[in-house]
Chains A and B, each alone.
Chain A
Amino acid sequence: MPIEILMPALSPTMTEGNLAKWLKKEGDEVHSGDVLAEIETDKATMEFEAVDDGRVGKILVPEGAQGVKVNQPIALLLGEDEDASALESFTPKAPEAASAPAKRIDDEPAPAAPPSVVRGNGRIFASPLARRMAQQAGLDLGAITGSGPQGRIVKVDIEAALSAARAAPARPPATPRAQPAAPIPSPALSKERILALAGNPPYTERPLTAMRRVIARRLTESKQTVPHFYLSVDCEIDELLKFRVELNAKSEAYRISVNDFVIRAAALALRQVPAANASWSEDAILLWESVDIAVAVALEDGLITPVVRNADRKGLAAIANETRDLAARARAGKLKLEEFQGGTFSISNLGMFGVRDFAAVINPPHGGILAVGAGEQRPVVRNGALSIATVMSCTLACDHRVVDGAVGAQFLAAFKKLVEDPLTMLL
């Protein structure tokens, strides 16, 4: 019997994807490990590898198809001794796991956990420990993505699902009565409704990419459920600029940008004020032991946040090379999953676009995001006299459930001190 090749879940947040490109055509031989197709997922284009050997019998979902549900059959694979006649008698199953909603914990919105790697016969591969933990917690294994060998569901996947379920926004805390509690980020108006309201003006339509949907969902969720507050500080960066020129003149092996200084300073400041390197969960505030900084990178049709891990333990040159590499691969859509997932804090820098200051939306479950403006010459008052300095305004958005005003202020003070006295960043 032909083997069904199912739309894979290539990331934990993926429920559907676009079939960007077929790399095998009907009749091609396939070996386990061959790249079958390129799938456009939430945030990147990823390669989809074959798990079985055989020959492509029939392609069910054409190249360029949008919104293909995870676990929907996309092709049929013939075994070694099967010929095309085997295809005729074969009716693909309707996608079951994909359409079944992920099991909810209580009535709260569970994170949209995608189904795991299910092979042709519907068997879910999970370790005995993972099975037991899922059973104890009432989790549906079919809704969990495995990270173990060959996509097997292992203990850490259950732990991740549990902590995601806990971290997922609960009912909005103590909302005023007048405002009805909205349990789920409310969906936008339909296209027809908007056109009717606007009086049908001419327009062109841009289809929603998977990435655009994720940006919309996550940031709506963040703004609606995370109590943001904002703190701003002005940093004088003349010393830093001078120091940067000196450092960059020393070697060709790196080119340190102002933002690399910002990343290092933020990482060191988080180390000094660990309470700001934290996430909210329903059970406890989680104080992260490592400082992993997610850096927003603008793409043609969205943005992505590759993560500089252990940024507090890396030197400026290492950070510079790493961010350059990550940004280049981010723009090429070639980041690996683990390179843009996680992180403990984010930085968004719009200085290069001449923005003076702005406030950013927190990227949950991070406890804060630092929005960095352009360094520009401004009049400053020193000892009662007017002078000129290059000033960079930074605004910290904090999740008030985790970071109170005083903690945020301490972080900014530490950050400012490092930025204004850049030699201390080398300590």
Chain B
Amino acid sequence: MPETSFDLIVVGGGPGGYVAAIRAAQLGLKTAVVEREHLGGICLNWGCIPTKALLRSSEIHHLLHRLDDFGFSAKDIRYDAGKLVARSRAVANQLSNGVAYLLRKHKIAVFDGHGRLAGNGRIAVAKDGNAVAELTAGHIVLATGARARSLPWLEPDGERIWTYKEAMVPPAIPKSLLVVGSGAIGIEFASFYHDMGAEVTVVEVLDRVLPVEDGEISAFARQSFEKQGIKIHTGANVTALERGNETLTARIQMQGDTLEAKVERVILAVGIVGNVEDIGLENTEIAVDKTHIVVDEWLRTGEPGVYAIGDLVGPPWLAHKASHEGVICVERIAGINDVHPLDRRNIPACTYSRPQVASVGLTEKGAREAGYEVRIGHFPFIGNGKAIALGEPEGMVKTVFDAKTGELLGAHMIGAEVTELIQGYTIAKTLETTETELIRSIFPHPTLSETMHEAVLDAYGRAIHF
């Protein structure tokens, strides 16, 4: 008989849940994870990781078509969509097995099945509708994540109308594609499929692409995508979809204008909804607001002893935010003194399109709306030696400082490898540095990171290379 009584049970083995479980085990809590599908969750199996594997292929594809720039020539460049997808799946599997190993190493019990609250600190686990276990714990962390939102007139059918899940395992690259939604997920798929040779149209209901990013970054991104040949319609809605034998005809409504797009496939990327169903929230004091569980700063729900983290509790929908919440939640449970609530202004966000986009903290508009008097710095990649040497001169870094105190309020980047660079600004923000420390820091030459230094200098009228 496996053990059924624990100090802490995590429902959901994604980046929020498994990290919470490992941290709990490190702190000496007897811990279990209940996962119904794959360890690693969406992130590792159907999200962050496999898409990065695909985008690596599309990046190579793009480079192979500009070999001449670097002095090469090659003929007959071909790809096999099946192999591309197989590699992406292999990467996901490797990491999912890695998570299983990590949980084993920390002596965390893993229950394969669907967990739901059963009252009084109990979790009922069912597999294929049959009860397989009943577990008890003093603390229960819900980390059941989220799934793609669908629109009533645009229900995904798994064949031609895709969510991220089908888009990640295409049998072949479609000739033409409509992407509905231009957040990080929509834009990454648009970029991948465009670089793989598809004709891509993006429709965004708001007035700009990547709408949570700084306005200047959105504009830069749009210009860059359009120059590559991606068609972008903003302030636009897909109001109807006609399913022909060969093609799908989408009616796209914009202000005072309607147009039709004929495409082979549609990807729906219009946000997510929390997985709050069938986890036993009925008859509890747990409040749900727009498919997300309401929690306090320590991730506590209205029900004593029940906590919720990650996509299940609200934006931003990011794996690293979920993991961090898991750690905060568990450390608080374990009675660690030096725990601090999540500071939402210090959560970096990345989009792995070509060009990449990364940001942390307030946008210029957000800072002004919050009442700050701001100092803004800019620096273009064209002023950076490494960017030119790499053949990636397209990009920009923008900094937002509080004019009064010198606090770095936000940083916004677009260009090659900026997703690897943003962490510099995140550390600076977390340590509460001002412009002085950033200006005094030495950035290695030649690197792309010098653009970060220059963008700080520029905010104080001191940029050297532009």
Contact = CB atoms under 8 A, between A and B. Distances in A.
B432 A155 contact: yes
B337 interface: yes
B407 A313 contact: no
Chain A's interface size range is: 20 to 34
Interface string A98-135: 00000000000000000000000000000111101100
A249 interface: no
Interface string A214-229: 0000000000000000
A154 B345 CA distance: 15
A138 to B, nearest CB: 14
Contacts of B287: 313
A128 B304 contact: no
B207 interface: no
B99 interface: no
Interface stretch (B14-22, B155-163, B433-441): B433-441
B434 A132 contact: yes
Main secondary structure of the interface of A (DSSP, over half): helix
A129 B433 contact: yes
A253 interface: yes
Interface in A201-255: 253
A315 interface: yes
A186 interface: no
A321 B338 CA distance: 26
A351 to B, nearest CB: 25
A118 B323 CA distance: 32
Given A149-B338, A322-B304, A128 B433 contact: yes
B342 to A, nearest CB: 14
A136 interface: yes
Contacts of B337: 49
A309 to B, nearest CB: 6
Contacts of B406: 129, 132
B432 A318 contact: no
A128 B434 contact: yes
Interface in B114-147: 119-120
A148 interface: yes
Contacts of B437: 128
Contacts of A132: 405-406, 434
B393 interface: no
B303 interface: yes
A64 to B, nearest CB: 25
Interface centre among A127, A129, A150 (most CB of B within 10 A): A129
Given A132-B406, A136-B405, A313-B294, A154 B432 contact: yes
Given A127-B431, A129-B405, A130-B432, A318 B303 contact: yes
A115 to B, nearest CB: 19
A343 B432 CA distance: 27
Nearest to A337: B337
Interface in B423-466: 431-434, 436-437
A341 interface: no
A321 B303 CA distance: 9
Contacts of B338: 149-150
Interface string A295-331: 0000000000000011001110110011001000000
B407 A155 contact: yes
B432 A149 contact: no
Nearest to A158: B405
A93 B432 CA distance: 32
Contacts of B294: 313
B405 A317 contact: no
A317 B285 contact: yes
Interface in B392-420: 404-407
B296 A318 contact: no
Interface centre among B296, B338, B432 (most CB of A within 10 A): B432
B340 A318 contact: no
A133 B302 contact: no
A318 B302 contact: yes
Contacts of A136: 404-405
Nearest to A155: B432
Contacts of B433: 127-129
A130 B434 CA distance: 9
Contacts of B432: 127-130, 154-155
B285 A318 contact: yes
Interface centre among B404, B431, B433 (most CB of A within 10 A): B431
B296 A310 contact: yes
Interface in B328-371: 337-338, 340
Given A129-B405, A253-B120, A148 B340 contact: yes
Contacts of A253: 119-120
Contact of A314 (B120, B302, B404): B302
Given A129-B407, A315-B302, A149 B340 contact: yes
B459 to A, nearest CB: 15
A321 B296 contact: no
Contacts of B296: 309-310
Contacts of B303: 318
Given A128-B433, A129-B406, A147-B340, 17 more contacts: A127-B431, A127-B433, A128-B437, A129-B405, A129-B434, A130-B432, A132-B406, A149-B338, A149-B340, A253-B120, A310-B296, A313-B287, A313-B294, A313-B302, A318-B302, A321-B304, A325-B304
Interface of A: 49, 127-130, 132-133, 136, 147-150, 154-155, 253, 309-310, 313-315, 317-318, 321-322, 325
Per CB-CB distance, the 7 closest pairs between chain A and chain B, nearest first, are A127-B432, A129-B432, A318-B285, A315-B285, A318-B302, A321-B304, A128-B434
